Amino acid sequence: MATEAASKPRVQAPKVQNQKMWIGGKWVPSASGKTFATLNPATGQEICQVAEGDKVDVDMAVLAARKAFEEGPWKKMSAAERGRLLNKLADLMEKNLHELAALESLDNGKPLNDAINADLPLSIKAYRYYAGWCDKNHGKTIPVEGDYFCYTKHEPVGVVGQIIPWNFPLLMVAWKWAPALAMGCTVVLKPAEQTPLTALRMGELALEAGIPEGVVNIVPGFGPTAGAAISSHMDIDKVAFTGEGKTGQLVMESAAKSNLKRVSLELGGKSPNVVFADADIDAAVNGAYFGLFFNQGQCCCAGSRLFVEEKIHDAFVEKLVARAKIQQVGDPFDPATTQGPQISQEQMERILSYIDAGNSEGAKMLTGGKRVGDKGYFVQPTIFSGVQDGMKIAREEIFGPVMNILKFKNIDEVIQRGNKTFYGLAAAVWTRDINKAHRMANSLRAGTVWINCYDVFDAAAPFGGFKMSGIGRELGEYALSMYSEVKTVYINLG
């Protein structure tokens, strides 16, 4: 496969100009005039400078979003027309697919092939899926006591603040914007400081699609300044956040202390991936591999605790290590590359320090363990076996290409150990036994359980966490409630 890919022509990384903020349908500099550099993780070099938003800029974006919500054509537009515009945005993403994918690879470091085959199609589908919901947002009629006619309406929650991470920049914009716009909200989005470029381009495309100015506003900047200004803002009605658990707690605290804005959180995980001895072993090896190493291991739902039944443990591990050795780590724009750089120096160092912790706590490192080269932020795919539940690498989210293999003897034990975490985002099970599959799906405390598959996503199916992995569900019909308020109306018929 690698040879076939290597024969494809290499795409040139795009040249990018310095970027401003996107407010009220216009490019504007930050009020302070400050800018920050966004770096290419494959080289560590600056791509361009980006306007650095802060509180004053968030205030300006909220004013634009409030005006668009209260007065603009957006408010008067029919629900069906909103749907048409969301579909138009999806059309424009398709038209500009290669440009968006290249920009995503450049800013994030993910292999261009992944951006083209995963990030873009999934993002486009999210807009199309919610385009369909715009005019199906029904309330109910309720048979109350007395001479009254009672009905409910689902109204937009209002101006929404959205704070997103760097691992899937375009997809996170889609998961946030599509349901919010479908419900008629307006948005102030802060992309991650590491990856502001594709979100900014989406602002322009939204206007080109005919989404009125001020409906989406984008304020690039840092968490404690621009991000905190969003979560504490008195005129933002709801904040949707994806990122680290500790940051999620800060967002929720400041939302509570300001105006009790509604909060939804999609946080981290330490997802158990359980392989029983009766599984299709080759499928499980591939699934376990993909479930951890996809996107450079930078997935909140990564299967980072791989439980393998004792009977097949050694043979399974051998196949997994062989699989890791054919991973092609390198330039995201090289068609042969299957693993790009980590997002930043900071993340790379953090991952290497987890690898040190694994070694010093007595896990057995079977492959990898080192930085690749001295330019950019590349880390070898790394596999530990002999991992114990109490080890740091088995408890904390690593967010990198580090797989931890734990051995288990029976189903009761693995249910108990799989659930022994504060997280509850995802889980997976590999078995041919239907009873075992259902028992595991019922017993694992996680928002998504994959049986004989991993990382399957669909815009129609909800995603989110139990326990400290979050609050609320994104995607599917469930996400609509995060962006709407229910209004009850009584009419006196007497």
Task: Look at residue 50 and give its three-state secondary structure.
Answer: strand
The distance of closest approach from Cβ of residue 86 to ligand ADP in the complex, given in angstroms and rounded to an integer, is 24
**Of 338 and 342, which has the nearer Cβ to ligand ADP?**
342
Long-range contacts, 312-319 (Cβ 8 Å, 24+): 312/275, 312/277, 312/279, 312/281, 313/405, 313/407, 315/281, 316/275, 316/281, 316/284, 316/285, 317/366, 317/383, 317/385, 317/405, 319/281, 319/282, 319/285
Cβ proximity of 148 and 97 under 8 Å: no
- What is the pairing mode between strands 448-451 and 305-309? unpaired
Site for ligand ADP in 438-477 (CB under 6 A): none
At closest approach, how far in Å is the CB of 240 from ligand ADP?
11
Judged by CB under 6 A, the residue of 53, 83, 169, 223 near ligand ADP is 223
Tokens of 8: 């494809």
Report the residue number, 148 or 222, with the smaller CB distance to ligand ADP: 222
Q: Is 44 left (phi over 0), alpha (psi -120 to 50) or beta?
A: left
Position 228 contacts ligand ADP (CB under 6 A): yes
Quickly count: other Cβ atoms within 10 Å of residue 370's Cβ: 11
Rounded to a whole number of angstroms, the minimum distance from the CB of residue 411 to ligand ADP is 34
300 touching ligand ADP, by CB under 6 A: no
Q: How far is the CB of 269 from ligand ADP (least distance, A)?
A: 12
Which one of the listed residues 134, 185, 300, 301 is annotated catalytic? 300
**Closest distance to ligand ADP from the beta carbon of 304 (Å):** 15
Count CB neighbours of 12 within 10 A. Answer: 8
Asked whether position 349 contacts ligand ADP by CB under 6 A, the answer is: no
150 is catalytic: no
Interface with ligand ADP: number of residues (CB under 6 A): 17
To ligand ADP, the closest distance from the beta carbon of 228 in angstroms equals 4
Q: Which of residues 233-252 bind ligand ADP (CB under 6 A)?
A: 243-244, 247, 250-251
Nearest residue (beta carbon) to ligand ADP: 223
Nearer to ligand ADP, 164 or 275 (CB): 164
162 is an interface residue for ligand ADP by CB under 6 A? no
H-assigned helices in 236-344: 245-257, 281-293, 313-325
How far apart CA 2 and CA 17 sit, in angstroms, is 33
Residues facing residue 489 across a β-bridge: 151
Give the distance, in angstroms, between the CA of residue 5 and the centroid of all CA atoms in the same chain: 27
The residue annotated as part of the active site, out of 266, 309, 397, 474, is 266
Nearer to ligand ADP, 179 or 227 (CB): 227
The answer to whether 25 contacts ligand ADP (rule: CB under 6 A) is no
Q: Which is nearer to ligand ADP, 116 or 173 (CB)?
A: 173
Left (φ > 0), alpha (ψ -120 to 50) or beta: where does 331 sit? beta
Q: Which of 30, 123, 231, 327 binds ligand ADP (CB under 6 A)?
A: 231
**DSSP SS3 for 395:** helix
> With respect to ligand ADP, which residue has the nearer C-beta, 227 or 269?
227
Q: Is 266 a catalytic residue?
A: yes
Q: Which amino acid is it at 420?
A: K
Contact 450, 429 (CB under 8 A): yes
Between CA 443 and CA 446 the distance in angstroms is 9
Residue 290 within binding range of ligand ADP, rule CB under 6 A? no
Mark 45-64 as b/e (b = at least 16 C-beta within 10 Å).
eebbebbbbbbebbbbbbbb
For ligand ADP, the closer CB: 40 or 484: 40
Q: How far apart are CA 267 and CA 397, in angstroms?
A: 11
Nearer to ligand ADP, 316 or 423 (CB): 423
Smallest gap from Cβ 238 to ligand ADP, in A, equals 14
Backbone angles phi, psi at 81, to 5 degrees: -65, -40
String marking each residue 178-207 x if it binds ligand ADP according to CB under 6 A:
------------x-xx--------------
For residue 369, the minimal CB distance to ligand ADP (Å) is 22
Q: Given candidates 165, 203, 303, 341, which one binds ligand ADP under the rule CB under 6 A?
A: 165
Distance between alpha carbon 459 and the CA centroid of its chain, in Å?
Answer: 13
Interaction between residue 272 and ligand ADP (CB under 6 A): no
Of 20-28, 157-165, 333-341, 447-455, the segment contacting ligand ADP by CB under 6 A is 157-165
Which residues contribute to the site for ligand ADP (CB under 6 A)? 163-165, 190, 192-193, 222-224, 227-228, 231, 243-244, 247, 250-251
So which residues are the catalytic ones?
266, 300
